[in-house]
Amino acid sequence: MHAPVSTFEYKGKQYLLAYSAGSALLGTARGDSVWLFGLDGTLSPVQPGTPISRQAAAAPAASTNDRSVRLQPDVAAGQRVYTQACVFCHGTDGKGDHGGASLVAVTDLAAAMQTVTAGRNNMPPFRTTLTPDEIRDVSAYVVQALAKLN
C-alpha cells in the first residue's frame, strides 16, 4: 500500500480503510483494492499472491497480422497516465512546478517516448512500470496537449 489509511467509527465500532493500487514510481504491480478492517475483528493468515507485472497486459502481439496492438496514440489515455505518474514532478501544466523539468517545449514524440522509457537526468525510467501503449500515450499527451495549455 502506498497511500495513507483512514479510520472512522460506525455504529460504535472503529474501522480502518486503506486503498492499494501499486505505484508507477516504485514499479509495483497494478491492482486496485480497498481494504476495510474492523479493529476488533480477526483475520486468518492469507497465502501470498503473485503480483502481475504492469507489462503483462501489453505484451507485443505474436503476429504482425494481430491488430490488437494500437498504432495511434490515445491522448486522453495519456492524460490519465500523466496525472497518475508525472504530475508529482512536472505539475499539472507541465511547467515543472514540483521540481521536475518543464515539458512545455517538448515537440518531438520519439524523443519524448525515449525519455519516458529510459529516463533522463533526474527522471527515472518508466520502461518497467508503464506499458508500451502507456509510454506512447503519455508522450503524445506531453507533445500535443501540454503545449496548448501554455
Mean pLDDT on 40-53:
66
What pLDDT, on the 0 to 100 scale, is given for residue 62?
Answer: 42
What percent of the chain stands above pLDDT 90?
A: 32
74-94: per-residue pLDDT in tens? Answer: 999 999 999 988 988 898 899
Do the Cβ atoms of 130 and 136 come closer than 8 Å? no
Q: Which residues contact 93 (CB under 8 A, 6 or more apart)?
A: 104, 146, 149, 150
N-to-C CA span, the chain: 35
Sign of CA dihedral 131, 143, 99, 4: negative
Q: Which domains does the chain have, with CATH numbers?
A: 6-38 (no CATH), 73-149 (1.10.760.10)
